[in-house]
Amino acid sequence: MVLVGIPAAGKSTVGGLLAQALGLELVETDDLVQAELGLSATEAFADDEGQDRYLRAQERLAQVCLERDCVLALGSSAVESAQVRAALVGDRVIWLQTSVVAATRRLGMSRLGLEVLAAIRTKLDAQLAERAGWYDAVATEVIDTDRQNAEAIVAQILAHKEG
């Protein structure tokens, strides 16, 4: 089972609850990439070389993780890779669809001030516009997370699995 979506869509939280409910391990590609590179995503994306290294590692590790029996929280940019998208074919892929407003609220960014918040939302809007088609293409299910808590989302996923 693979979870995709923008940052703050709930992949980690929902993924952890799902993994627990299913008796599986939660694997987060962002954690694996950061451990391998010894850099946070923010540090890696500070320059083009770091960003390229991050994206190459993410692509490789995502493909490796797709071979595991786990709940996989895929890094938000992994769907940019044609190889990752191809590797997702045949898997249960759930797009945790989230608006940028909800994502920035979840990240606690409202307190940053209007100018900073607007800049962050503009960047996230651009990322979502770029990735939405890819998320939609790989998803076997889409769940709108804006007005649901993690437990309700997990219940919806589990109900669909049983149904």
pLDDT of residue 127: 78
pLDDT of residue 156: 95
pTM: 0.88
Among residues 11, 5, 8, the alpha carbon closest in space to that of 136 is found at: 5
Calculate ∠ Cα 139-142-145, nearest 5°: 135
Among residues 123, 33, 47, the alpha carbon closest in space to that of 78 is found at: 33
Average pLDDT by consecutive 10-residue portion of the chain (163 residues)?
A: 92 97 96 92 83 92 94 94 95 92 71 68 78 94 95 95 57
Give the chain's domains with CATH numbers: 2-158 (3.40.50.300)
pLDDT of residue 58: 93
d(Cα 50, Cα 44) in Å, to the nearest integer?
Answer: 4
pLDDT of residue 114: 67
